Amino acid sequence: MASVRRERAYLDYNATAPLRPEARAAMTAAFDLGGNPSSIHAEGRAARAIVEDARRAVAELAGVGPRGIVFTSGGTEAVNLALTPAGKAVRLIASAGEHVCVLAGHRFAPEAATLAPLRPDGRIDLAALEAALDAGGPALLALQGANNETGVLQPVAEAAALAHARGGIVVCDAVQLAGRTSLDAQALGADYLVLSAHKFGGPKGAGALIAARPELHVGSPLLRGGGQERGSRAGTENVAGIAGFGSAARAVRGEVAAEAIRLAQLRDRLEARILAAAPDAVVFGAGAPRLPNTTCFAVPAIAAATLLMRLDLAGVAASSGSACSSGKVARSHVLTAMGIAPELAAGAIRLSLGWASRELDIELFIEAFAPAVASLRRRGAA
């Protein structure tokens, strides 16, 4: 007898959003087009036109000119490209809650890298940052726009003002901002932004390092060769991936205000249902400004790995609030930096919504979550 396929709820947009139909269509058209974008014949010019159209779309999303866009293979490459000693900025200051690609991917000597602490609500401690900035010469400051685990929004503009007043440069990992809240390089005050297409409905394997001003230029490329991307990133461009990136950027730019409201309403209902099912659950960063699509919580005495497996078997895709590598759940350095007790942090679950999220996803989650928590508590009490 054939089994009935249960509908699944996908609640892991902060890891990867499903591909938007606009992006899929743009990629399909690009796949059908021959030609290297560096070639001068008609086929090459057609490929170049696709890349440059996408460059304009990504620039418009970030509020910069198209010359500021350097396409990369994703956010990690863009971060590695940006976080290198250049000019007077010979030391790095990063918040303790940065993505691991910042903490492990920079090109500064270990003794030249400093972590600025987080407050208990998940935001960077600006007083401690100011002290760190005053402790040496001009620094390169790495500060994410929003944390990928908790959704907490960082005070990038205030931090950037502190760094700039001391001759510093600011790189903002804006990967989680795009499509969920307004994204404006000038308002953020950062010198560079980092984006990754697959977080908001574009394809995996496409990202960008974005310079807020045309005079900014990457001084030390990671990849050297043919001089593509104005000498900042060698290698034949991923035309299809870039096409999907540009299409997704254009789509989210037109709907971000309404989408932020919709996602916040869904997120708030989701948290209310979680707390109704488990009143002792703790929502991390709840007292700070957060992305409208993200909730990170833990139920005391219930391990994240166990609950995640129960949810997956019941048809819900979620993730741990901690960094994951090859499917293994590790303790969150973000929650540790917030001062969360290890036993509570070990239960962190992250739920994140996006462009295709529905009310049904919340219902499916609660149908799986409430009995799972009840069962695990009975087992723990036995």
Q: Which amino acid is present at 362?
A: I
From 101, 172, 296, 324, the catalytic residue: 324
Nearest 5°: the CA angle 142, 263, 61 is: 50
DSSP string, 195-214: EEGGGTTS-TT-EEEEESST
What span, in angstroms and rounded, lies between the C-alpha atoms of 207 and 73? 5
Sign of CA dihedral 200, 206, 207, 208: negative
Could you tell me if 47 and 36 are in contact, meaning their C-beta atoms sit under 8 angstroms apart? Answer: yes
Residue closest to 272 by CA, chosen among 290, 295, 306, 304 = 295
Per the DSSP assignment, residues forming a β-bridge with 177 are none
As given in the structure block, the two tokens for residue 365 are 């989650």
Taking the CB of residue 49, how many other CB atoms lie within 10 A of it?
13
**Which ranges of the chain does DSSP label H, i.e. alpha helix?**
21-31, 42-62, 75-82, 100-105, 126-134, 156-164, 185-188, 239-253, 256-277, 304-313, 333-337, 342-345, 359-381
What span, in angstroms and rounded, lies between the C-alpha atoms of 47 and 57? 16
- The verdict on whether 324 is a catalytic residue reads yes
Could you tell me if 293 and 345 are in contact, meaning their C-beta atoms sit under 8 angstroms apart? Answer: no
Q: Which amino acid is present at 125?
A: D
Residue appearing with tokens 């497996």: 309
Indicate the length of the chain as a whole number: 382
Taking the CB of residue 370, how many other CB atoms lie within 10 A of it?
15
- The radius of gyration of the chain from alpha carbons, rounded to an integer in Å, stands at 21
3-state class (DSSP) for residue 352:
strand
**Residues annotated catalytic, as ranges:** 324
